[in-house]
Structure 1
Amino acid sequence: MPTGLAIRDVREQLFGAAERVLLRAGPSALTSRAVTTEAGCAKGVLHKHFDDFDAFLAELVQDRIVRLTEESEALRAAAGTNTVVDNLTGALTALFGSVAVAIVSLIIFRDELRARLRKATPTGIPLLNEAGAMLVAYLAAERDLGRIAAEADVDVLAPTLIGSGHLVFADRTGTPPEPDTVRRMVTTVMAGVLA
């Protein structure tokens, strides 16, 4: 891109480029040069908007966490509609069918990124923590509505669903799991608590 031309929504353009590189080639291929090449801009553009590459990556993760917060509100609002299994299957498919699995790999792969994210998320894995909180809120709402057992431990069910979902979707190079595979996993985890 020629110097002097304004780039609209530069952050989103760079974040989108980073996600494409991450999905296509994995965390080891994610460099500032790869991102700016994918975005079609000069390398200096990234460094003009972010202190360094790990600051860029930390903001990418935080941006995806904010998006997950919006999805969390929608899932919470779905309590009492459809079936619990349908709602959870849809939420987990949306979560892990996105770039989330690749971002989790990135967080694990890059020590400096993990260190920066620890300031806001001192324990667990950022993005997965927030996904777990999303499921806890939804499951608690369903429990309050009587659609899952009153004694259901939503603080255990949520990470069980997240961990199981992550394992089902973990192969970023393979084809996504069939919807029936996700539904079967959800049904199995929830079997003892569905009303």
Structure 2
Amino acid sequence: MPTGTAIRDVREQLFAAAERVLLRDGPSALTSRAVTTEAGCAKGVLHRHFTDFDAFLAELVRDRIGRLDGQAAALHASAGTGTVAGNLTVVLADLFTSVAVAIVGLIIYRDGLRARLREDTPTGVPLLTDATAMIASYLASERDLGRIVPDADTGALAPALVGAGHLLYADRTSAPPEPEAVQKVVATVINPVLQPPAPR
């Protein structure tokens, strides 16, 4: 890797390499040597930018959590449009890409990484906890718009949706679920709290 390369480029190269190893070989294969070999650079490059491997993995997870901001903005903008179930089906499919599912598995697999991330997320599983907050905020907006009943418990609905969604997508060796399967799960959770249509 040429000297003078911007640190952001190095970070992104290493993060992308880590994701490839994680997707291909699983969390047990993710080592600093595997990442630098995949990235095509010397092992010392990683340790020049991160204090240790768990610090690198923590930054990888934080970077991927930061990408939820765009999804959250799009979901918030969808409030009041389309259908609530349709909007949630789309966001769950966007949320549970193969990389996100693999990262959740990595967090669960590595105790040292989980301990680092506790600084940011004291409870729950990072990424899933952030996704739950995003969906709860969206549901609250839909409730304010009158599309969900006023007494709907968004704090209970959001983790039910995220948990069910994660179970649908969790098998990284199989094809992702069909949209109809995701729609069915979303409808099961959401339909009881949807505001009935106004009589004509």
Q: State the TM-score, normalized to the length of structure 1.
A: 0.95
Q: 1:97 to 1:4 in 2, by over 3 A?
A: closer
* Aligned equivalent of 1:186: 186
Aligned AA for 2:128? Answer: L
TM superposition shift of 1:5: 6.9
- Secondary structure of residue in 2 paired with 1:88: helix
Aligned AA for 2:29? Answer: A
Structure 1 Cα separation of the partners of residues 143 and 152 of structure 2: 7
1:73-92 alignment, distance < 5 Å = 73-92=73-92
Aligned AA for 2:100? Answer: A
- Secondary structure of residue in 1 paired with 2:193: coil
TM superposition shift of 1:44: 1.1
Identity of aligned pairs, percent? 68
Q: How many residues align?
A: 194
1:153-168 alignment, distance < 5 Å = 153-168=153-168
* Aligned equivalent of 1:125: 125
Structure 2 Cα separation of the partners of residues 20 and 35 of structure 1: 9
* Aligned equivalent of 2:134: 134
- Secondary structure of residue in 1 paired with 2:149: coil
- Secondary structure of residue in 2 paired with 1:6: coil
Q: Is the 8 A contact 2:139 2:154 kept in 1?
A: yes
Structure 2 Cα separation of the partners of residues 150 and 66 of structure 1: 31
CA deviations over 1:82-129 (Å, ceiling 9, x no partner): 111111001000111241111111011101101111111111111111
Aligned AA for 1:81? Answer: T
- Secondary structure of residue in 1 paired with 2:192: coil
Structure 1 Cα separation of the partners of residues 46 and 53 of structure 2: 8
TM superposition shift of 1:71: 1.3
Structure 2 Cα separation of the partners of residues 162 and 4 of structure 1: 43
Structure 2 Cα separation of the partners of residues 138 and 38 of structure 1: 38
Aligned AA for 2:40? Answer: G
Structure 2 Cα separation of the partners of residues 83 and 68 of structure 1: 21
Structure 2 Cα separation of the partners of residues 29 and 47 of structure 1: 18
Structure 1 residues not aligned, in runs of 5+:
none
Structure 2 Cα separation of the partners of residues 40 and 89 of structure 1: 38
TM superposition shift of 1:70: 2.4
Aligned AA for 1:114? Answer: R
- Secondary structure of residue in 2 paired with 1:108: helix
Structure 2 Cα separation of the partners of residues 60 and 4 of structure 1: 22
- Secondary structure of residue in 2 paired with 1:99: helix
Structure 2 Cα separation of the partners of residues 27 and 61 of structure 1: 13
TM superposition shift of 1:24: 1.1
Structure 1 Cα separation of the partners of residues 71 and 41 of structure 2: 31
Structure 1 Cα separation of the partners of residues 102 and 3 of structure 2: 33
Greater than 3 Å deviation, 4+ residue runs:
3-8
Work out whether 1:68 is the aligned partner of 2:68: yes
Work out whether 1:152 is the aligned partner of 2:144: no
Structure 2 Cα separation of the partners of residues 11 and 82 of structure 1: 38
Q: State the TM-score, normalized to the length of structure 2.
A: 0.93
Structure 2 residues not aligned, in runs of 5+:
196-200
